[in-house]
């Protein structure tokens, strides 16, 4: 179909949410709030990955996901551990993704599903359905239609750039993608990542907005919105739902930033200034960089508060007083 246009109607509610979201983004961007807080960006990325995988029944906890990403040994299901590694690599590609490219879509799917599914980086060859738990919401189109449906969707996406607001087009794409269900596995993860990739092209702050965590909190409502849109024959319900999720998560990010500001002492800020990321430091090395003489002062005013905030971590967390202990800025 040469001029396919996904069925949806922009409502006053959508327009109000788009306006309010744009205002919130402006507030965060005006002071480069996330850019100046790498630990928040990293924590949000890990949160996104954990939530997106949890929606797909990955049982690893947030702390286990963090450990896998940080290269620590985690005892668990090897497929679930591989899913975390894959998702982290896939999300690291967000700045390089062309959201209008099917080639890029297949490439990222190949990364997302590496060593975990049989059909990785290729469109499905069999029938699929969309499930919420054990309940089938609807049966996806037959596999022989996938290529043409995806070409139509990506053609519309390209034509809509600069015409349809990205907050709207990203939600439309998300629903249409889930409806087509182009891959044998990993469709939910890819839909959520691609939603972020589209929004990143509009405002790069979205690379570190944990939208997936908001969807995971409202997982039932997420699938209800998909089902309602399917019944209605348009994506209106889903667009409004996703805009509300973005509106809410931006409020959480703003609160997160304010909390970080209020809780981070001048001592901790000074210590973070003298540390490089992902380099293990001894307590003596940190003391020397700060010009301190007392280990008790270092521990009380610098190390302990920084660990509580999650801005540094111990390399041997189960033995805090080990002589081999190192501290890493994250």
**Distance between the two ends of the chain, CA-based, in angstroms?**
49
Number of H helices, E strands in the chain: 15, 5
Tell me the whole-structure pTM to 2 decimals: 0.84
Q: Which DSSP category does 229 fall into?
A: H
pLDDT score of 61 more than 60: yes
Domain ranges of the chain: 32-261, 265-329
130-139, 167-176, 198-207, 280-289: least confident range: 130-139
| pLDDT per residue as tens digits for the range 232-286 | 999 999 999 999 999 999 999 988 787 777 777 899 989 999 998 778 999 999 9
Bridge partner residues of 132 (DSSP): 135
| pLDDT per residue as tens digits for the range 68-79 | 998 889 999 999
Distance CA 78, CA 116 (A): 9
Classify domain 32-261 at the CATH topology level: Fic-like fold (1.10.3290)
The confidence band for 1, taking pLDDT boundaries of 50, 70 and 90, is low
For 319, half-sphere exposure in the C-beta direction (CA atoms, 13 angstrom radius) is 7
Distance CA 169, CA 157 (A): 7
Average pLDDT over residues 155-166: 97
Give the E-state strand segments of 258-310 in sequence order.
280-281
Average pLDDT over residues 117-136: 92
Q: Other C-beta atoms within 10 Å of 123: how many?
A: 19
Q: Other C-beta atoms within 10 Å of 141: how many?
A: 16
């Amino acid at each position: 179909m040469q001029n396919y246009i996904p069925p949806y109607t922009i409502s006053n509610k959508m327009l109000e949410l788009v306006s309010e979201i744009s205002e919130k983004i402006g507030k965060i961007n005006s002071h480069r709030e996330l850019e100046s807080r790498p630990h928040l960006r990293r924590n949000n990325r890990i949160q996104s990955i954990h939530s997106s995988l949890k929606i797909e029944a990955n049982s690893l906890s947030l702390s286990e996901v963090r450990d896998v990403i940080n290269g620590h040994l985690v005892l668990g299901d090897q497929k679930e551990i591989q899913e975390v590694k894959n998702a982290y690599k896939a999300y690291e590609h967000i700045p390089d993704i062309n959201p209008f490219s099917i080639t890029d879509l297949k490439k990222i799917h190949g990364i997302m599903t590496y060593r975990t599914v049989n059909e990785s980086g290729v469109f499905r060859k069999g029938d699929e359905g969309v499930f919420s738990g054990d309940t089938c919401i609807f049966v996806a189109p037959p596999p022989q239609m996938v290529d043409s449906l995806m070409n139509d969707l990506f053609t519309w996406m390209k034509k809509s750039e600069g015409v349809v607001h990205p907050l709207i087009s990203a939600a439309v794409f998300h629903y249409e993608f889930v409806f087509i269900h182009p891959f044998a596995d990993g469709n939910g993860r890819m839909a959520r990542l691609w939603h972020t990739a589209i929004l990143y092209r509009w405002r790069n702050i979205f690379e570190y907005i944990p939208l997936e965590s908001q969807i995971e909190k409202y997982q039932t409502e997420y699938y209800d919105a998909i089902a309602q849109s399917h019944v209605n024959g348009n994506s209106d319900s889903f667009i409004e739902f996703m805009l509300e999720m973005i509106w809410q998560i931006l409020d959480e990010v703003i609160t997160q930033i304010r909390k970080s500001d209020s809780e981070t002492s001048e001592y901790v800020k000074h210590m973070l200034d003298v540390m490089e990321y992902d380099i293990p430091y001894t307590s003596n090395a940190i003391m020397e960089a700060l010009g301190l003489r007392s280990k008790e002062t270092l521990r009380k005013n610098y190390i302990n508060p920084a660990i509580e905030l999650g801005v540094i971590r111990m390399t041997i967390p189960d033995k805090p007083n080990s002589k081999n202990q190192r501290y890493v800025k994250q």
